[in-house]
């Protein structure tokens, strides 16, 4: 029997449309678990999961931790600061030491693109990518897909525009893969300095003005403007960015139809998004957070199916 998802979840680029749908469908009943008086099921009892975070994260780490605990897994959090990583230990050595303590899964967040795949090829445990550099953040895109499907009842045929810093965004990359695989039309909108070269080759529409994107789209996924980028000269000033690309109430009022507003967080109010929009009736930003736990439960549950033969094969491949 082959595993539904394989050994690791590295990115949506590697998944088939059916695998993506399977995760979304499996997430559906997990939503209800979080509404129970005892928010816990024993599905992953006895499994040990290590959350290995080499980069700051609040929402994603807590969401994974809730997902793990609600499936009854035992969890350990390792942060890069205060660990042997600071003493110069390599990623693989860190993970192999953890494996020597008989763990079952690693959830990894790392500043280098490709870190999750690199690790997955070298250890027996299942690896879940919680964000690697500018590469992918698959569970974020999956929760975005689930939220869009909840709101619109479908994904195929919808027009979804990613707004802002696409260049540095792993969320954008995972979203582009996931949305296109499920048949949505994807647009991107932002300053030229924050657009990766050749973005059109991924089959997305490019909008240079936010007004055009708003006129076109059914859903806006507003990416966080990473403020540290300003010092690096990508944008002249935060105020100018807001004036030109900010998703404001005034701009949305001119839209031909009400737009669903999403944001992966953390939000910079008054920079990429107007507070009145973030808290407005068409915002599903907090639904995204709720769905994040369900999607991560689904991913962990599907990966935990117990596939020693695949883990063995993966390990042999690395030697």
Partner 1 sequence: MAVEVLELAHGTDRLVLIGIQRRGVELAERIARLIEQDEGVVVPRGALDITLYRDDLETVGPKPVIGETRIPGDLGGKHVVIVDDVLYTGRTVRAALDELADFGRPERISLCVLVDRGGRELPIQPDVVGTKVKVGDGERVDVLVEELDGRDEVDLVSGK
Among the options 7, 26, 60, 248, which is catalytic? 60
Catalytic site residue 197?
no
Select from 33-41, 106-114, 127-135, 260-268 the region that touches partner 1 (CB under 8 A).
33-41
Catalytic site residue 152?
no
Our finding on whether 304 is near partner 1 (CB under 8 A) is yes
Our finding on whether 40 is near partner 1 (CB under 8 A) is yes
Catalytic site residue 109?
yes
Our finding on whether 32 is near partner 1 (CB under 8 A) is yes
Strands 219-222, 159-163: pairing kind? parallel
Our finding on whether 312 is near partner 1 (CB under 8 A) is no
Our finding on whether 33 is near partner 1 (CB under 8 A) is yes
Strand order in the sheet with 219-222: 205-207, 185-189, 159-163, 219-222, 260-262
Site track for partner 1 across 122-151, x = CB under 8 A: ------------------------------
* Closer by beta carbon to partner 1, 29 or else 258: 29
Element (H, E) at 201: none
Catalytic site residue 251?
no
- The footprint of partner 1 on this chain (CB under 8 A) covers a number of residues equal to 26
Among the options 7, 70, 109, 181, which is catalytic? 109
Please give the Cα distance from 92 to 183 (Å, whole number): 37
Q: How far is the CB of 19 from partner 1 (least distance, A)?
A: 10
CB 221 within 8 A of CB 160: yes
Please give the Cα distance from 306 to 7 (Å, whole number): 9
Q: How far is the CB of 307 from partner 1 (least distance, A)?
A: 8
Please give the Cα distance from 300 to 306 (Å, whole number): 11
Catalytic site residue 59?
yes
What are 161's strand-pairing partners? 187, 220
Convert 116-137 to b/e letters by CB count within 10 Å (16 or more is b).
bbbbbbbbbbbbbbbbbbbbbb
* Closer by beta carbon to partner 1, 22 or else 79: 22
CB 234 within 8 A of CB 225: no
Which of 29, 303, 51, 25 lies closest to 142, judged by CA? 25
CB 128 within 8 A of CB 152: no
Interacting residue with partner 1 among 109, 149, 296, 307 (CB under 8 A): 307
Our finding on whether 205 is near partner 1 (CB under 8 A) is no
Element (H, E) at 126: strand 126-132
* Closer by beta carbon to partner 1, 66 or else 242: 66
Our finding on whether 29 is near partner 1 (CB under 8 A) is yes
Report, as residue numbers or ranges, the catalytic residues. 59-60, 87, 109, 137
| Chain contacts with partner 1 (rule: CB under 8 A) | 1, 3-4, 22, 25-26, 28-30, 32-33, 36-38, 40-44, 71, 301-302, 304-307
């Amino acid at each position: 029997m082959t595993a539904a998802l394989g050994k690791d979840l590295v990115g949506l680029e590697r998944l088939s449309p059916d695998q993506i749908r399977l995760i979304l469908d499996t997430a559906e009943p997990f939503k209800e678990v979080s509404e129970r008086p005892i928010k816990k099921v024993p599905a992953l009892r006895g499994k040990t999961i290590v959350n290995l975070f080499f980069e700051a994260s609040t929402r994603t780490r807590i969401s994974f931790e809730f997902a793990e605990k609600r499936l009854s897994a035992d969890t350990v959090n390792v942060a890069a600061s205060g660990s042997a990583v600071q003493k110069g230990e390599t990623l693989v050595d860190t993970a192999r030491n953890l494996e020597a303590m008989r763990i079952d899964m690693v959830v990894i967040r790392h500043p280098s693109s490709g870190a999750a795949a690199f690790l997955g090829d070298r250890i027996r445990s299942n690896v879940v990518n919680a964000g690697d550099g500018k590469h992918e953040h698959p569970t974020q895109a999956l929760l975005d897909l689930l939220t869009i499907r909840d709101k619109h009842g479908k994904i195929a045929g919808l027009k979804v525009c990613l707004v802002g810093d696409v260049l540095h965004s792993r969320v954008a990359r995972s979203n582009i893969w996931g949305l296109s695989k499920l048949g949505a039309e994807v647009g991107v909108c932002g300053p030229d300095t924050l657009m990766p070269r050749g973005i059109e080759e991924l089959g997305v529409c490019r909008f240079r003005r936010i007004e055009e994107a708003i006129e076109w789209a059914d859903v806006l996924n507003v990416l966080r403007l990473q403020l540290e980028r300003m010092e690096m000269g990508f944008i002249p000033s935060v105020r100018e960015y807001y004036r030109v690309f900010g998703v404001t109430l005034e701009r949305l009022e001119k839209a031909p139809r009400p737009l669903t507003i999403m944001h992966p967080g953390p939000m910079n109010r008054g920079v990429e998004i107007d507070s009145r929009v973030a808290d407005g009736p068409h915002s599903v930003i907090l639904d995204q957070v709720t769905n994040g736990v369900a999607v991560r439960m689904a991913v962990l549950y599907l990966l935990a199916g117990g596939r020693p033969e695949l883990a063995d094969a993966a390990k042999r491949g690395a030697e």
